[in-house]
Amino acid sequence: MTSISNSSCPVCASPTVDLYPGMYDDRYGYPGTFALKHCPGCGHRHIAASFTPEQLGNLYSDYYPRSAMSVDSYAPYTEAKGFTAWFNGERCSAFRWVPERVKVLDIGCGFCQTLGYHNNRGCESHGVEVDTNAKRVADKFGLNVKIGVFDAANYAADYFDYVTLDQVIEHVVDPHQMFTGIARVLKPGGTAIFSTPFSRSLPARIFGRRWINWHTPYHLQHFSRESFRLACEKAGLELVQTRTLTHSEWLGYQWMHTLSYPAIGEPSLFWTAHPDKSSHYRKPLVRLAMIAHRLKMDHVLTRLFDLFGRGDNILYFVRKPLAA
């Protein structure tokens, strides 16, 4: 049952309705509840919340688990080829589609493995990351990273051949500002590639409010194909291709997420170093889910979901038109 909401769609400005009220952080225990809104006009879904840059820094630096990652464990990503990579869905990330020897900006570069990957392929790579933990890696390995939210004014106009956002566009407060910023720094004829959760997937329909990728309040925007096309158009960009391509681990994570769903304000047994974690993994349903994953049943289902365009992860390929 949906209820009428005063909130307007951040993409098309149409009135929205409540899809799932009372959503909360079911991974790391960030406090508060949030309403997930749905736009009947363009199909966009969003969390009705707004964060300042300082609040975003606290949200990711203090609650996300990267602070526990060791700089000594850093290693660039390597190529993903062959049947095993296909079966695992390893080309689900935007950075995998960037060619060699180009200028590339990775917005939301995380722990900087993508920048090392691009550098090893002869690219001029730049990154931006709101999580201050990325600075530890950038400083040690001499990587070109700006800490903070993406600001197009920090880069020359019409400079990059490629801009990538892997699991990032769903986090932004103002989609229009992000798209117009990308349009500014991208060369005419250049390409932007996005990977983001797809809330029209079959798992999203099956698991409802416990779908793993609502990820409240970190995921603020959930695009439909139509709302993404419209957001591109408003920024002077052209959506040229979409496809669902999902890593096979995601479905295994979904089962574990569902079986360890926490109360509001509590960290998840699965997503955190919870003291009861070992006992949780001995429960019958949890063990059954682990066996099914080891037998590659999740992999087969994921490939089928993607085949029919109903997978959990969607790739958007966007072009900046050539100057008239």
In a domain, 180, yes or no: yes
- Model pLDDT, residue 55: 72
Q: What is the C-alpha separation between 222 and 245, in angstroms, rounded?
A: 16
- Model pLDDT, residue 180: 98
CB atoms within 10 A of CB 273: 9
CATH of the domain at 120: 3.40.50.150
The count of domains in the chain is 1
Give me the domain span that covers residue 94: 4-319
CB 194 within 8 Å of CB 169 = yes
Q: What is the C-alpha separation between 253 and 200, in angstroms, rounded?
A: 18
Digit-coded pLDDT (tens) for 256-306: 999 999 999 999 999 988 888 888 888 899 999 999 999 999 999 999 999
In a domain, 134, yes or no: yes
Cis peptide, bond prior to residue 10, ω within 30 of zero: no
- Beta strand 103-107 with 160-166 is parallel
Q: Which residues pair with 124 in a beta bridge?
A: 103
Cα–Cα distance list, 272 to 63, 101, 277, 306 (Å): 10, 38, 9, 29
Q: What is the C-alpha separation between 150 and 152, in angstroms, rounded?
A: 6
In a domain, 109, yes or no: yes
SS3 at position 194 = strand
In a domain, 324, yes or no: no
CB 164 within 8 Å of CB 96 = no
Sheet of 4-8: strand order equals 4-8, 15-23, 34-38, 45-47, 221-222
Range list of H helices, 235-317: 249-259, 277-280, 284-294, 297-307
Query: In which residue ranges of the chain is pLDDT below 50?
Result: 1-5
Q: How many helices (H) and strands (E) would you count in the chain?
A: 11, 12
In a domain, 91, yes or no: yes
CB 129 within 8 Å of CB 110 = yes
Q: What is the C-alpha separation between 52 and 232, in angstroms, rounded?
A: 24
In a domain, 296, yes or no: yes
Q: What is the C-alpha separation between 118 and 125, in angstroms, rounded?
A: 6
Q: What is the C-alpha separation between 318 and 223, in angstroms, rounded?
A: 14
Q: What is the C-alpha separation between 93 and 260, in angstroms, rounded?
A: 27
The predicted model scores a pTM of 0.92
In a domain, 185, yes or no: yes
- Crossing angle of helices 297-307/284-294, nearest 10°? 70
Sheet of 238-244: strand order equals 145-147, 124-129, 103-107, 160-166, 186-197, 313-319, 238-244
In total, the chain counts a number of residues equal to: 324
In a domain, 229, yes or no: yes
Q: Which residues contact 276 (CB under 8 A, 6 or more apart)?
A: 269
- Model pLDDT, residue 296: 96
